Amino acid sequence: MKKWMMCAAMLCSTAAFAQNSTNVEGSSYQFTVLKNLDAGDVENQGRTGTCWSFSGLSFFESEVLRNGKAKGLNLSEMFVVRKMYPLKADNYVRMHGKANFGEGGGFPDDLLCLREYGLVPQSVYDGNKGKMYNHAEMETLLEGMAKSIGNASGTINPDWKKAFNGVLNAYMGEAPEQFQYNGKSYTPQSFAKELGLNADDYVLISSFTHHPYNSQFVLEVPDNWNWEKVYNVTLEDFTSIAENAVMNGYTLAWAADVSEKGFNFKEGLAIVPDKDWEDMSAEERKNIFLQPGKEKAITAEVRQHAFDNFETQDDHGMHIVGLVKDQNGNKYFRVKNSWGTPNYGQGYFYASEPYFAYKTTCFMVNKKGLPAAIAKKLGIK
């Protein structure tokens, strides 16, 4: 997941969203809120490909809020990024340079950090934010080092890891091993434990036909560099899990492709019009974001075809925090993004259930959010 956008650095809370329309002047969309869940302030990932950390940490913040702990908590996304870079580099070198290396990542990275290293507040470690996060120069240096070592033909000097961490420390600062927060002393691990966050509470869910249903497989996307497994379910169960979780108070960390013409953050919508974009007139293209229309019927075959042809890729990580329906009864997930809070939408948009079914690569959810019958089929306790 690598999408980034330069946006204003304003912040807003979940309570501030408009409940009855999209972000477009003249829109006739009318939404009725079915469920709205607590989330932290909208953040801005700036000029980085770290959406996976912003969305994953936003998800953890909502889990803390759901448990009634640490209201107003802002977790450090860059702590996770700082911890993952050396692991990605080590994997890249061990794979002789034939693996993915870069800013991209996924929710397995967030879980790995939580499990192995813990988490810290933003106030303790901001990763040298400045006015806006921008990792372009740092990434160029890190990638050059990783490729040089990974493609080496002779003996590798183990001190490369010190040099690699030196670059990270120069640009991001050293990650804290102990810190003070609200008058108490913590390690990152003890802080995560006090928040009630346990990596074993969360599962990754996907739905594809090239692996058996009701089993686990390694999701074949480049940013899944540590080969984390996801649970594979039918498309019907896939959407049922998502809707059931939200309606029962659990948010979702959502990985999806946002390259479709029907994804328009400015217009506040992600939809799959029944008519192909190239077959629409200019007027029709404008109107699809102004009034609800018919959307494509998404089947397992349609979904699989898009994934097999790279039309659906692991583009962007976001955070689903609610569910609404329009005046025609069609359902949409309410999505928190990490592109700041421009004038439109205050950082949120609505993704239709067909878009979710079509363009999701996977999502992370608390396993308690799964319907009991589906959890039993998957062997999740």
Yes or no: say if 35 and 246 are a contact pair by the CB < 8 Å rule: yes
**CA–CA–CA angle 232, 237, 243 (5° rounding):** 120
Q: Is the pTM of this model over 0.75?
A: yes
Q: Residue 342: its pLDDT value, please? A: 79
Yes or no: say if 286 and 24 are a contact pair by the CB < 8 Å rule: no
Whether residue 102 is contained in a domain is answered as: yes
The sign of the torsion formed by the CA atoms of 108, 238, 374, 320 equals positive
Whether residue 4 is contained in a domain is answered as: no
Whether residue 2 is contained in a domain is answered as: no
Q: What average pLDDT does this structure show over 342-365?
A: 93
Count of domains observed in the chain: 1
Q: Residue 152: its pLDDT value, please? A: 87
Yes or no: say if 49 and 79 are a contact pair by the CB < 8 Å rule: no
Q: Where are the beta strands (DSSP E) in 219-330?
A: 229-232, 252-256, 263-264, 269-270, 316-325
Would the pLDDT of 193 be above 70? yes
Q: Residue 122: its pLDDT value, please? A: 97
Question: How many C-beta atoms surround the C-beta of residue 278 within 10 A?
Answer: 6
Whether residue 183 is contained in a domain is answered as: yes
Farthest CA pair distance, the chain? 66
Single out the residue of 222, 86, 189, 184 nearest to residue 142, CA to CA. Answer: 86
User: Distance between CA 368 and CA 36 in Å, rounded?
Assistant: 18
Q: Which residues have a Cβ under 8 Å from the Cβ of 338 and sit 6 or more positions away?
A: 42, 43, 44, 45, 51, 54, 55, 58, 317, 318, 347
pLDDT in tens, 197-227: 999 999 999 999 999 999 999 999 999 999 9
Number of helices (H) and strands (E), helices first, in the chain?
Answer: 11, 13
Q: What average pLDDT does this structure show over 143-172?
A: 94
Q: Which domain holds residue 353?
A: 20-378
Length of the chain: 381
- Read off the pLDDT band of 69 (50, 70, 90): confident
Q: Residue 10: its pLDDT value, please? A: 29
Quote the mean pLDDT of the chain. Answer: 92
Single out the residue of 92, 202, 104, 188 nearest to residue 148, CA to CA. Answer: 92
Q: What average pLDDT does this structure show over 134-143?
A: 96
Q: Residue 21: its pLDDT value, please? A: 63
Q: Residue 343: its pLDDT value, please? A: 64
Q: Which residues have a Cβ under 8 Å from the Cβ of 3 and sit 6 or more positions away?
A: 49, 51, 258, 315, 316
Would the pLDDT of 230 be above 80? yes
Q: Residue 1: its pLDDT value, please? A: 67
User: Distance between CA 69 and CA 226 in Å, rounded?
Assistant: 31
Whether residue 299 is contained in a domain is answered as: yes
Would the pLDDT of 263 be above 70? yes
Q: Residue 18: its pLDDT value, please? A: 43
- Read off the pLDDT band of 3 (50, 70, 90): low
Whether residue 98 is contained in a domain is answered as: yes
Single out the residue of 60, 116, 19 nearest to residue 322, CA to CA. Answer: 19
Whether residue 130 is contained in a domain is answered as: yes
* CATH assignment at residue 236: 3.90.70.10
Q: What average pLDDT does this structure show over 75-95?
A: 97
Q: Residue 356: its pLDDT value, please? A: 98
Whether residue 6 is contained in a domain is answered as: no
Q: Residue 9: its pLDDT value, please? A: 29
Query: Over pLDDT 70: what percentage of the chain?
Result: 93
- Read off the pLDDT band of 273 (50, 70, 90): very high
Q: Which residue has the tokens 């010190």?
A: 162
Name the least confident of 127-131, 162-166, 210-214, 229-233. Answer: 127-131
Single out the residue of 193, 228, 226 nearest to residue 118, CA to CA. Answer: 193
